Structures are given as structure tokens and as C-alpha cells.
Amino acid sequence: MKTFPSITLAAALLTFAPAAIADTLVLDRPLAGGTLQGNDVDMSVYFSPAADNHSEIVAIYVDDAAPDQQRLITMSMSDGDEVHFSLPGHPETLYVFSRVGGVITIEDQLAGSINRTSQQRGTSMDQHQI
């Protein structure tokens, strides 16, 4: 369960994030945040350290169909983890979250443009509406 300050910080990032707006977002330190801006979906992401050398990734996104309904994604990642997924209602965009050392990389790509055979290794993802 997220604490109020974490949700507040993520909401602020979504609204005021001056960081990179591109197809690839690289977060190289905890609580650094940035935004991916797509055709139909905007996503703001940050991460914080967690127990057992994991990183807790927090992403809030909105889409053009319901801009007043923010959605929250959280996942815990270890070094070397990578996860690929599409958002509900947006199968054309594939999001790739990966962690190498203390760096989290997030990419949004057309769903057919990457190799889908990569394995999700020890990564869990929960999605909640806030």
C-alpha cells in the first residue's frame, strides 16, 4: 500500500515534471522522476530504494479517453529485471521497464517493434486506480 506522500509526489511529477519527455526515460537516482508522453497516454515515473536491494517503481498514467482518471502502477525490480506490458485499452504501445544496477530505463514502443521473447525475471506488477 502506498503512503499519502508517495502518491502526492507521483501526482506532482505527473503535473509538473520538467524531466525528459521522450520515447526513452532513464532514471539514474532514487526519487528522480520523468515523463513519457505518447499519442494517447502520458506516464510519469519515479523510483525509490526498497528492501533486499530492490527498487520500488511508481508510475502514474492518464489517457486521452479519461484524462481525469489517473491510474497507478507499482512494481518491485531487482538488478537485471526487465518487464514488457501494454496498458488496458492501449495494445498498440508496449512499455519496457528495465533495471541495470541503480538505473531504471523505461521505453514506450510500438507493440510490434521489439522482441517479445524476453523473460520477466522476478518482477511483480500491481495496478491500482487512484
The reported pTM is 0.70
- Phi, psi dihedral angles at 14 (to 5 degrees): -60, -35
pLDDT band at 124; cut points 50, 70, 90: very low
- Quote the pLDDT of residue 110: 81
Per-residue pLDDT reduced to its tens digit, 66-88 = 999 999 999 999 999 999 999 99
Write down the domain spans for the chain.
Answer: 4-124
